[in-house]
Amino acid sequence: MGDLLSHLIDRYRLARPYRRIAEKVFSGERLSFQEGVALYQCPDVSFLGALANYVRERLHGDYAYFNRNFHIEPTNICVFDCAFCAFARRPGQEGAWEYTLEEIEQIVRRYAEAPVTEVHIVGGVHPKRGVEYYGEMLRRIKAIRPDLHIKAFTAVEIAVMAARSRMSIREALQYLRACGLDSLPGGGAEIFHPEVRAQICDSKATAEQWLHIHRTAHELGIPSNCTMLYGHLEAYEHRVDHLERLRALQDETGGFQAFIPLKFKRENNRMSHLREVPMLEDLKNYAVCRLYLDNMPHLKAYWPMIGRQTAQLSLSFGVDDVDGTIDDTTRIYAMAGGEEHPAMSTAELIGLIRGAGRIPVERDSLYRVRRIYNEHPPTEPIDLPMLA
């Protein structure tokens, strides 16, 4: 450790504040708010990468995780109108959809024999559907695939469905869990700071509500993920404020499994006048998040949003997870300019990870290892079967 730290200090000719940050990272000391901002201001992305990679390898060695999953987006009809959103539609508007429960069942039946382990369910905040409706959806999915892990509903969806059903957040989560909910995804967090939140999503769940819902889930033993939408109107201070609040909740509950930075995409939304940040900013952001969130087990790069090459590079900037196969089942990022038909076979995901010099590890939704692909070449067939 000492050698590596000395090498970093020599190699990067570190100014005193960055030298102090490097020393703290190497000794496992927590970074302050000001140090978080200083890291974002650091012009040397390779230094940030080296430091974040040190932490990543301390936690996970060369392992890089993925799973086999698919998405269901039950509706894109939404009562809100977030400025960055390309996905939402009003009832009756062109491009709107709302699946019936029977259509949801049909989607799940397509995967009845497929070796997927997780379904990820998020969608618009529908004006009429309450907790009972979504509970029935979960029950029907479990009836078809009892073994499937259901990761479903952002805190924003839960806030509205609970209010519609006149339930407290705790009651709603308990009800959904009894119907089959296994974990929560991390969406809806965007940027917590009210200066930014007021401009990009002023009417939906506040930061305090989002954090309350995840805290309650953790208290009930429901794990969750967390996210940050970056690269739009926010300043570095807003990002660090966001990370600070997540770090504090994780100290309290330990219920977050992974943090997923989500890049702002500019197509087909009310913020199309903004430029998207360049890839170097993506890599810097991954590195700073890895360094600041010292209590977060996993840092995930969501490849349909940033692209395969950036996802591959991110594995050297603190990231240890590249999400899953997805099988062309999400439209959220495609509608905003992300990958048009996001799907990777298991072989492709393994190739992506190996191409970055890491060891692919197939995990389940709770990060339990299913298989380590450390043989060359793999000895078993690894592609998902073709789906009708």
Nearest approach in angstroms of CB 48 to ligand SF4 is 29
Q: Cα–Cα distance between 352 and 255 in angstroms, integer?
A: 29
Q: Which one among 78, 299, 301, 306 touches ligand SF4, defined by CB under 6 A?
A: 78
296: nearest Cα among 307, 286, 310, 306: 286
Residue 375 makes CB contacts below 8 A (sequence gap 6+) with none
Q: Name which of 90 and 212 has its Cβ closer to ligand SF4.
A: 90
Kindly indicate which of the ranges 76-84, 98-106, 140-148, 355-363 contains the residues binding ligand SF4, using the contact rule CB under 6 A: 76-84
Contact pattern from residue 99 through residue 138 relative to ligand SF4, giving x for each residue in contact according to CB under 6 A and a dash for the rest: -------------------------xx-------------
Which residues are 354's β-sheet partners?
none
Q: Which one among 87, 230, 292, 333 touches ligand SF4, defined by CB under 6 A?
A: 87
Q: Cα–Cα distance between 315 and 381 in angstroms, integer?
A: 25
Contact call for residue 164 and ligand SF4 (CB under 6 A): no
Q: Which one among 81, 113, 195, 267 touches ligand SF4, defined by CB under 6 A?
A: 81
Q: Name which of 49 and 188 has its Cβ closer to ligand SF4.
A: 188
Nearest approach in angstroms of CB 358 to ligand SF4 is 32
* Torsion, Cα of 227, 228, 231, 237 (10° steps): -150
Q: Which amino acid would we find at residue 380?
A: E
Q: Which one among 126, 204, 298, 308 touches ligand SF4, defined by CB under 6 A?
A: 204
Q: Cα–Cα distance between 24 and 33 in angstroms, integer?
A: 14
Nearest approach in angstroms of CB 234 to ligand SF4 is 16
Contact call for residue 85 and ligand SF4 (CB under 6 A): yes
DSSP labels, 320-346: -EEEEEETT---TTGGGTS-SS----H
Nearest approach in angstroms of CB 88 to ligand SF4 is 4
Residue 153 makes CB contacts below 8 A (sequence gap 6+) with 121, 122, 134, 161, 176, 181, 184, 185
Q: Cα–Cα distance between 19 and 8 in angstroms, integer?
A: 9
Contact pattern from residue 345 through residue 384 relative to ligand SF4, giving x for each residue in contact according to CB under 6 A and a dash for the rest: ----------------------------------------
Contact call for residue 315 and ligand SF4 (CB under 6 A): no
State the number of binding residues for ligand SF4 (CB under 6 A). Answer: 12
Contact call for residue 338 and ligand SF4 (CB under 6 A): no
64: nearest Cα among 381, 339, 369: 369
Going from the C-alpha of 75 to that of each of 72, 122, 190, 272, 347, the distances in angstroms are 9, 8, 20, 23, 31
Q: Which residues sit at the interface with ligand SF4, rule CB under 6 A?
A: 78, 80-82, 85, 87-88, 124-125, 156, 201, 204
